[in-house]
């Protein structure tokens, strides 16, 4: 990619300022010139950094209207702090020169990128989501851009979109220019000459063209035009003169995108149709809506690419065979119906998924993907249709004393014909051999020849000790609840499993997690941190490449306040194992504690998809959205969490942490009576639990009960919750901002 600084060069630009020092800025070179101003690279001699300076052109410098527009651009953009909006450092005047100081960017304009042809699907969706996320932030502050086009969007050398030029932005309730003044401005910018593509006019919304009052939906139409051009390389509304373009804009539909670019995802056509709806009441109503659809599309593209990578091998013949073997392992039915056997059913199913994943010629859908179908009355044909799975493994598990009975069946989803079925009646101590046998039988039924390495991998077990395995599976179900009692119980079980089998690396790793969380939440007792460090080091020593071992080390770093190291370890583990236990939750919490809220929002969909029923993952997401002031998107995520929490509490009604999260969501959704019921029940169940008390304070704040919130926070601190970084950033505690008692309990960090 050809590198440019900030914007493209134009011939005939003035160079008279090069070499001069304006205020404390030494002008180095001219970067480009647009309709409003000339842009230079300069060195800020005070701060020792390079910046971009935007000056009005000499012809326009004395035009009061243009000067006001120039100043309005700076005010609008400087009110925004977003990674996809060019940062404005300030607006200054030196003698007769008015200029904006902004960040210096490396890369190229989106307009230049589009000239080389349509963007690939991944870049298209990724950049589109970034642009509309920036619009969402601007709209939340009452700022409508109104001149969104590829020439006002920059793509950095790292592939990050940056919106430029808020010169005709509408701030709050400023008067909207009428169509004639808009067209006159466009003519001044020489965009209406015959034989040239219409610039700004081509990206206008119909309401702008008619001179009507504009709102946020105006930008969404313009964004749709930009996205259309990114996808096809062509404008949706074209013409040689402004009159022709206006007629197309107001009265004609653009060509279907798939006619121009057949490789585009079908869903993108629907997104563009809705974005380019001429009636704005039928258009996307918010940037959040269109961003959600693009993120969902990005997720689907990522999943499809991963499936493709998983089933593709070096030889063409091998790849063809692999592509015929996508298999979904459904959670086995709990035939005995005993609640205490749920952990065993889940653990055995997940271990079978792990075993089959070791066979290269099988594409096995991940645990998060199939978890959505657990205990649902679905047929193999339905699974095949929804997941594009060729085969489904389903079964029933029943335990009676020390005996285990499993019935399993492998079904072709197209024909509904069973390719293999078996019934096992074994002692519990044979469970590992049973899992191995099921994996081998499925490979045999699908005519897959196992390599010596695959046979060795199938023979390897997390532990050879059945009692250790049973304790490990039980502990996992308690660890996710995070109350003091649950963490202590989980710790005892994980450590018990490790003592029964000193080579059980996974048990050490998850023991480290719960010890670090206990240290973080309940009083910073060094005993817990020492336990966490020892267990994490043991897991890493036993299996250095184990992703869970990195997560364990990450939780230790997080509990000790080393958030950057926690982020690095979590990301490394998730690269190797995207559904690694607790990985996304650790990453989200560490990013929140560092104030890196946008990164949490970017990972939200992936994190929830991988965590599935672990409601903890929603905490950093909801808090980040609250801290960013994204109220509409926050409501959307709270509604999603309510569904997960309500479902969870029907199965685990004693989970007080879930009740508190549900209480805060109810309060935020104005369901005050339900919120008060849940928080009071939670506190009555665990009156001395620091985590419970802290989250109760959040609920009381949302219920506008300030004294109750402060009382709960004081008790939380006395019980061990001391994290000022988290408390000061938690949007649920906004009611207490500036309160002396709150500042005393959780003082601002330096």
451 and 539 inside one domain:
no
Separation between Cα atoms, residue 307 and residue 59, nearest integer Å:
58
445 and 548 inside one domain:
no
What is the percentage of the chain residues whose pLDDT exceeds 70?
86
440 and 522 inside one domain:
no
CATH number at residue 264: 1.10.510.10
229 and 113 inside one domain:
yes
For residue 481, give the nearest of 648, 723, 709 by alpha carbon: 648
619 and 727 inside one domain:
yes
39 and 119 inside one domain:
no
Provide the pLDDT confidence category of residue 195 given band limits of 50, 70 and 90.
very low
What is the average pLDDT score of the chain? 82
Place of tokens 């180095």: 28
For residue 694, give the nearest of 671, 718, 672 by alpha carbon: 718
Q: What is the pLDDT of residues 95-144, one digit of tens each?
A: 777 788 888 888 889 999 998 889 988 899 999 999 998 898 888 877 88
CATH number at residue 357: 3.40.50.10070
For residue 618, give the nearest of 643, 591, 597, 637 by alpha carbon: 637
Separation between Cα atoms, residue 241 and residue 191, nearest integer Å:
9
Per-residue pLDDT at 224: 95
Q: Between 591 and 60, whose confidence is greater?
A: 591
If one counts the domains in the chain, the total is 5
138 and 262 inside one domain:
yes
Separation between Cα atoms, residue 276 and residue 227, nearest integer Å:
10
Measured in Å, how far apart are the chain's first and last C-alpha atoms?
42
Per-residue pLDDT at 78: 63
248-252 average pLDDT score: 84
Provide the pLDDT confidence category of residue 62 given band limits of 50, 70 and 90.
low
Q: What is the pLDDT of residues 398-433, one digit of tens each?
A: 887 778 888 889 999 888 888 898 888 888 777 878
152-166, 188-202, 360-374, 656-670: which has the minimum mean pLDDT? 188-202
254 and 398 inside one domain:
no
Per-residue pLDDT at 66: 61
141-145, 368-372, 518-522: which has the minimum mean pLDDT? 368-372
Is the separation of the CB atoms in 115 and 4 below 8 Å? no
Per-residue pLDDT at 60: 59
What is residue 562's DSSP assignment? -
Provide the pLDDT confidence category of residue 197 given band limits of 50, 70 and 90.
very low
Cα four-point dihedral sign 656, 657, 659, 660? positive
SS (H, E, C) 396-431: EEEEECCEEEEEEEEEECCCCCEEEEEEEEEEHHHH
657 and 709 inside one domain:
yes
DSSP for 322-343, written as a single string: HTT-EEEEPPPEETT--GGGHH
Per-residue pLDDT at 7: 38
Is the separation of the CB atoms in 53 and 40 below 8 Å? yes
Res 750 pLDDT > 60: no
Res 595 pLDDT > 60: yes
Classify 282 as helix, strand or coil: coil
Paired residues of 398 in beta bridges: 405
Res 186 pLDDT > 70: no
Cα four-point dihedral sign 674, 679, 684, 686? positive
Q: Is residue 70 a part of any domain in this protein?
A: no
Domain end: 588, 609, 635, which one? Answer: 588
Q: Is residue 199 a part of any domain in this protein?
A: yes
Q: Is residue 525 a part of any domain in this protein?
A: yes
* Active-site residue, 302 included: no
Separation between Cα atoms, residue 406 and residue 423, nearest integer Å:
6
Is the separation of the CB atoms in 64 and 98 below 8 Å? no
Place of tokens 């206990």: 518
Q: Is residue 307 a part of any domain in this protein?
A: no
For residue 220, give the nearest of 237, 236, 205 by alpha carbon: 205
Q: Cα dist. 180→210, 520, 668 in Å?
A: 9, 62, 45
Q: Cα dist. 476→21, 118, 166, 370, 398 in Å?
A: 64, 48, 52, 19, 21
100 and 118 inside one domain:
no
Q: Between 484 and 273, whose confidence is greater?
A: 273
Separation between Cα atoms, residue 187 and residue 197, nearest integer Å:
13
666-685 average pLDDT score: 91
Separation between Cα atoms, residue 389 and residue 328, nearest integer Å:
6
Per-residue pLDDT at 175: 37
Cα four-point dihedral sign 439, 444, 446, 448? positive
For residue 727, give the nearest of 703, 694, 702, 699 by alpha carbon: 694
Res 154 pLDDT > 90: yes
Q: Put residue 582 in one of left, alpha, beta given phi > 0 → left and psi -120 to 50 → alpha.
A: left
Is the separation of the CB atoms in 553 and 569 below 8 Å? yes
Classify 144 as helix, strand or coil: strand
What is residue 213's DSSP assignment? P
Q: How is residue 274 written in tokens?
A: 């809705």
Considering the candidates 44, 63, 112, 147, report the single residue annotated as catalytic: 147
520 and 572 inside one domain:
yes
For residue 431, give the nearest of 409, 464, 393 by alpha carbon: 464
557-570 average pLDDT score: 93
Per-residue pLDDT at 320: 31
Res 317 pLDDT > 60: no
For residue 301, give the nearest of 328, 264, 259, 258 by alpha carbon: 264
Cβ neighbours of residue 218 closer than 8 Å, sequence gap 6 or more: 144, 146, 205, 207, 208, 280
For residue 149, give the nearest of 173, 114, 119, 174 by alpha carbon: 114
35-39, 86-90, 277-281: which has the minimum mean pLDDT? 35-39
For residue 265, give the nearest of 307, 297, 235 by alpha carbon: 297
What is residue 524's DSSP assignment? -
Q: How is residue 539 written in tokens?
A: 């897991």
Q: Is residue 67 a part of any domain in this protein?
A: no
Res 543 pLDDT > 90: yes
Q: Is residue 695 a part of any domain in this protein?
A: yes
Res 705 pLDDT > 90: yes
Separation between Cα atoms, residue 274 and residue 284, nearest integer Å:
6
289 and 208 inside one domain:
yes
Q: Is residue 310 a part of any domain in this protein?
A: no
Beta strand pairing call for 161-163 and 153-156? antiparallel
Res 189 pLDDT > 80: no
Classify 57 as helix, strand or coil: coil
Classify 596 as helix, strand or coil: coil
Separation between Cα atoms, residue 656 and residue 649, nearest integer Å:
9
For residue 675, give the nearest of 697, 654, 700 by alpha carbon: 700
Instruction: State which of 386-395, 466-475, 703-712 shows the largest mean pLDDT.
Output: 703-712
Res 6 pLDDT > 50: no
Q: Residue 196: how many CA atoms within 13 Å on its side-chain side?
A: 10
Q: Is residue 472 a part of any domain in this protein?
A: no
Per-residue pLDDT at 188: 38
Host domain of residue 514: 478-588
Q: Between 584 and 582, whose confidence is greater?
A: 584
For residue 536, give the nearest of 595, 589, 586, 611 by alpha carbon: 586
Res 2 pLDDT > 60: no
What is the percentage of the chain residues whose pLDDT exceeds 90?
28
Domain end: 431, 459, 487, which one? Answer: 459
């Amino acid at each position: 990619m050809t590198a440019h600084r900030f914007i493209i060069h134009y011939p005939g630009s003035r160079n008279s300022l090069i070499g001069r020092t304006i205020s404390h800025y030494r002008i180095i070179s001219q970067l480009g010139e647009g309709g409003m101003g000339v842009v230079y690279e300069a060195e800020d001699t005070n701060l020792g950094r390079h910046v971009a300076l935007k000056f009005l052109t000499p012809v326009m410098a004395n035009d009061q209207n243009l000067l006001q527009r120039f100043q309005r651009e700076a005010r609008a953009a400087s009110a925004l702090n977003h990674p996809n909006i060019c940062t404005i450092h300030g607006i200054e005047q030196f003698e007769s020169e008015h200029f904006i100081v902004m960040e210096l960017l490396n890369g190229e304009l989106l307009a230049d990128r589009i000239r080389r042809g349509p963007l690939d699907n991944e870049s298209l969706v990724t950049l589109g989501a970034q642009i509309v996320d920036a619009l969402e932030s601007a709209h939340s502050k009452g700022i409508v851009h109104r001149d969104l086009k590829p020439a006002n969007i920059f793509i950095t050398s790292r592939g990050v979109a940056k919106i430029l030029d808020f010169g005709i932005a509408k701030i709050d309730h400023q008067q909207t220019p009428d169509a004639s003044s808009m067209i006159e401005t466009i003519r001044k910018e020489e965009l209406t000459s015959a034989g040239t593509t219409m610039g700004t006019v081509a990206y206008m919304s119909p309401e702008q063209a008619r001179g009507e009052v504009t709102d946020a939906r105006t930008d969404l139409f313009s964004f749709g035009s930009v996205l259309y051009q990114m996808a096809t390389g062509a404008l949706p509304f074209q013409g040689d003169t402004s009159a022709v373009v206006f007629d197309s804009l107001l009265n004609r539909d653009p060509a279907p995108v798939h006619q121009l670019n057949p490789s585009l995802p079908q869903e993108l056509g629907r997104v563009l149709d809705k974005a380019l709806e001429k009636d704005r009441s039928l258009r996307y109503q918010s940037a959040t809506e269109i961003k959600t659809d693009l993120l969902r599309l990005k997720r689907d593209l990522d999943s499809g690419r991963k499936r493709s990578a998983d089933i593709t091998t070096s030889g063409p013949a091998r790849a063809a065979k692999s592509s015929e073997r996508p298999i979904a392992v459904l959670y086995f039915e709990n035939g005995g119906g005993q609640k205490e056997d749920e952990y065993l059913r889940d653990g055995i199913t997940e271990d079978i998924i792990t075993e089959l994943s070791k066979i290269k010629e099988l594409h096995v859908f991940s645990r998060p993907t199939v978890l959505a179908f657990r205990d649902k009355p679905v047929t193999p044909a339905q699974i095949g249709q929804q997941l594009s799975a060729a085969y489904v493994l389903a079964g029933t598990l029943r335990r009676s004393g020390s005996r285990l009975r499993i019935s399993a069946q492998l079904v072709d989803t197209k024909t509904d014909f069973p390719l293999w079925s078996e019934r096992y009646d074994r002692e519990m101590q044979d469970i590992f051999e049973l899992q191995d046998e099921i994996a081998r039988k499925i490979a045999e039924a699908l005519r897959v020849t196992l390599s010596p390495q695959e046979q060795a991998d199938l023979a390897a077990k997390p532990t050879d000790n059945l009692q250790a395995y049973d304790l490990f599976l039980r502990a996992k179900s308690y660890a996710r609840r995070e109350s003091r009692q649950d963490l202590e119980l989980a710790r005892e079980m994980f450590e018990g499993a490790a003592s029964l089998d000193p080579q059980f690396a996974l048990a050490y790793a998850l023991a480290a997690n719960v010890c670090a969380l206990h240290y973080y939440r309940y009083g910073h007792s060094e005993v817990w941190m020492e336990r966490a460090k020892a267990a994490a080091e043991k897991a890493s020593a036993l299996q250095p490449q184990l992703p869970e071992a990195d997560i364990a080390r990450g939780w230790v770093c997080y509990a000790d306040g080393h958030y950057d190291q926690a982020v690095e370890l979590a990301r490394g583990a998730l690269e190797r194992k995207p559904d690694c236990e607790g990985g996304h939750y650790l990453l989200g919490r560490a990013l929140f504690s560092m104030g890196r809220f946008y990164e949490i929002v970017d990972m939200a969909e992936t994190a929830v998809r991988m965590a599935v029923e672990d409601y903890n993952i929603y905490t950093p997401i909801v808090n980040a959205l609250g801290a960013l002031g994204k109220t509409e998107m926050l409501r959307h995520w709270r509604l999603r969490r309510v569904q997960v929490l309500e479902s969870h509490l029907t199965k685990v009604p004693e989970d007080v942490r879930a009740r508190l999260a549900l209480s805060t969501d109810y309060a935020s959704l104005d369901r005050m009576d339900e919120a008060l019921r849940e928080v009071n029940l939670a506190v009555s169940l665990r009156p001395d639990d620091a985590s419970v008390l802290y989250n109760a304070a959040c609920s009381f704040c949302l219920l506008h009960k300030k004294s109750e919130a402060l009382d709960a926070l004081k008790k939380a601190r006395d019980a061990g919750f001391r994290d000022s970084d988290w408390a000061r950033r938690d949007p649920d505690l906004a009611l207490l901002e500036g309160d002396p008692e709150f500042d005393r309990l959780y003082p601002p960090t330096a």
